[in-house]
Amino acid sequence: MIKPPHLMTLADLNVNQIQNVLTHALRLKNTSTAYLAPGSPRPINSRLVRGVPPQSLSHSSIALLFSKRSTRTRVSAETAAVLLGGRALFLGREDIQLGVNESARDTARVLGGMCQGIFARVGDHSEIEELAEHSPVPVINALSSLWHPTQILADLLTLHEEASFQVGQPIKAKTAFAVLPEIKPLTITYLGDSTNVLHDMLVTFPRLGHKMQVATPNDPQYRCPTPVWNRVKELGCDSGITWVEDPREAVKDADVVITDTWISMGQEAEKEQRLKAFQGYQVTEQLCREGGAKPDWKFLHCLPRKKDEVDDEVFYGPRSLVFPEADNRKWTIMALFDMLFGHWQIYDPKVIEQRQPKS
């Protein structure tokens, strides 16, 4: 029996594979956006034709196993599965027996016997590792305590689409088979808690030629956990990361400033302590001006956002890429669904183009 491919973190993919996912996501975005435009003709059947999203999940069901609530991840996954010709089954913590009368091992086997893929948003990372160990179909990590790979793919696609970061000739935005635009090496600043979002940045951005400057309070509970830092060093990413305490020092020469929640789900009891620890970390124009960020710096946030983390001037201002970033969750998840659930591997973009019908 062929062992199914799983994706727990972007540390599991090499640089070419990451670029391939992003390239395919852009192709799907361009194809699907034109296909979904008001007044656009719809095919009578699901026959794969040029101009129609690939129907790799035709007659397939994808289990969305969510033990934590979600907006972007859930809606992205459900709409992506539909565009690929399949159906997503949302399975919340109140819907199934997982964690009540059934183990993760048994749940993985049952879901894998009925569905063609599992997209799991869990608590502790060990939960998704157990699902992947026993699942007969591919498992993709939709979020765990340690990693959040689909979010960082969306961040990367957004950065590649940002015109001020691009080098060379711009792509033809409306071309279905456009290539991923090249961007310059960026200085990316992250301010705040060492969350799963940051962890996948640490194992990804330096390998793509970007420099990371991270500011967290000088307290072990807000620093990178050992299992994550071991992966960072294993991939040789540590040389591209600077870790400081002062947020002003961290934003020096920043092209991009990123933050995340200071109070993750399950940490509500620590709210007062955490707000005190992160005083001075709110992303503002003043902070970035005083710290010496680049004049045209941009802002990212995975959402949902609280005003303690970033003020309205930045969040809703011209520097903010948060809503294009949210939109791109759909296209990067769709790319992973097509590749891993539909074909059980990360295809090279040229191979994908070759299997498209001519008309």
Q: For residues 213 and 188, is the Cβ–Cβ distance under 8 A?
A: yes
Count other C-beta atoms under 10 Å from residue 128's C-beta: 30
Residue 225 has what DSSP assignment? P
Q: Which helix (H) or strand (E) holds 146?
A: none
Instruction: State how far the Cα of 63 lies from the Cα of 58, in Å rounded to an integer.
Output: 15
Cα within 13 Å of Cα(262), Cβ side: 24
DSSP 321-345: -HHHHHHHHHHHHHHHIIIIIIHSS
Q: Which two three-digit tokens encode residue 146?
A: 């340690």
Q: Which two three-digit tokens encode residue 9?
A: 């973190």
Assign 64 to helix, strand or coil: strand
Assign 230 to helix, strand or coil: helix
Q: What distances in angstroms separate CA 261 from CA 97, 126, 312, one per listed residue?
A: 30, 22, 15
Instruction: State how far the Cα of 68 lies from the Cα of 92, in Å rounded to an integer.
Output: 8
Please state the φ and ψ torsions of residue 214, each to the nearest 5 degrees: -115, 130
Alpha carbon 24 to its chain centroid, in Å, reads 14
Q: Which of 115, 237, 288, 302 is catalytic?
A: 302
Q: Catalytic site residue 302?
A: yes
- Catalytic residue set: 302
